[in-house]
Amino acid sequence: MYLLGQVLSFSLLSMGIESLHGTVVVVDDGAVAFVGDCGYGKSTLGAAMLAKGFPVLTDDLIALRESAAGCVVQPGVPRIKLFPSVARRVFRRKSLGTPMNPRTSKLVLPLEQHEAVGRPVPLKAIYVLSPPRTPGGARPGRARVRPLAGREAFLEVIRAAFNLLVLGEERLASQFRFANDLAARVPVRRLTYPRDLSRLPSVCDTVLRDFSSLPAQGTATAQ
């Protein structure tokens, strides 16, 4: 897992390929990425989408490349990382997988063939999972989606970088170009929702409704 995550990110950077930290599912032949800080529920939301029938493209490391179809997400290893309570409640598997490491209870669960996608898929939207509290301090009663653009979208893409350890001038310049281009071409949305497992199906419905309303091409503007 670490070889195909942390170690791979350094190899990708050596080839000039940026990667993001998050979970990607496939909806209507388009890749939908969930990014955000550690502990914000990226894999959990990905598992909830999988429970609704939307397969996982990659979990943890999101590798992107240019193609004739635009920016595409490369398929990852067919597995997902979840805490036992989430695996039992959302994933409903008899086998709970393998412990990720001795310092956490998080598990690595293999995905079956119909639960994963093994081909590159065009990236259609990025949802930034934000803290469960609204700016006023109250907990949100339902899921909310807000579009991000310009500087705000750019900064969220930067924050979602998988590898934050390489800080050389060449890498930072490459990362700046990558984030600016991605934020301009792909819709970036902020998703805030209550952290309650029982509400995950409705959160998924909110994401699906918002995703279906997006234009074929992003309307973000480079800044």
- Cβ neighbour number for residue 77 with a 10 Å cutoff: 16
Please measure the distance between the N-terminal and C-terminal CA atoms of the chain and give it in whole angstroms. Answer: 36
pLDDT recorded at residue 79: 94
- Cβ neighbour number for residue 172 with a 10 Å cutoff: 12
In this prediction the pTM is 0.91
Distance CA 136, CA 175 (A): 33
Domain that holds residue 58: 3-133+143-213
Tokens of 220: 């973000």
For residue 223, being part of any structural domain is answered with no
Q: Say how many domains are in the chain.
A: 1
Residue among 73, 68, 49, 83 nearest 201 (CA) = 49
Q: Which residues does residue 26 pair with via DSSP β-bridges, in sequence order?
A: 31
Per-residue pLDDT tens for 146-184? 999 999 999 999 999 999 999 999 999 999 999 999 999
For residue 120, being part of any structural domain is answered with yes
Decide if pLDDT at 223 tops 50: no
For residue 73, being part of any structural domain is answered with yes
CATH number at residue 17: 3.40.50.300
Distance CA 99, CA 88 (A): 14
Per-residue pLDDT tens for 20-67? 999 999 999 999 999 998 888 999 999 999 999 999 999 999 999 887
Question: Which range (36-45, 57-66, 96-105, 135-144) has the least confidence?
Answer: 135-144
Per-residue pLDDT tens for 28-40? 999 999 999 888 8
Tokens of 187: 């819709």
For residue 221, being part of any structural domain is answered with no
pLDDT recorded at residue 95: 63
For residue 100, being part of any structural domain is answered with yes
- pLDDT-derived band of residue 1, with 50, 70 and 90 as boundaries? confident
Tell me the percentage of the chain whose pLDDT exceeds 70.
91
pLDDT recorded at residue 70: 81
What mean pLDDT do residues 120-138 have?
Answer: 80
Compute CA distances 117 → 26, 40, 112, 133, 153, whole Å: 8, 24, 10, 33, 27
Residue among 211, 223, 56 nearest 124 (CA) = 211
Residue among 46, 93, 48 nearest 73 (CA) = 46
**H/E segment holding residue 31:** strand 30-35
For residue 218, being part of any structural domain is answered with no
For residue 138, being part of any structural domain is answered with no
For residue 220, being part of any structural domain is answered with no
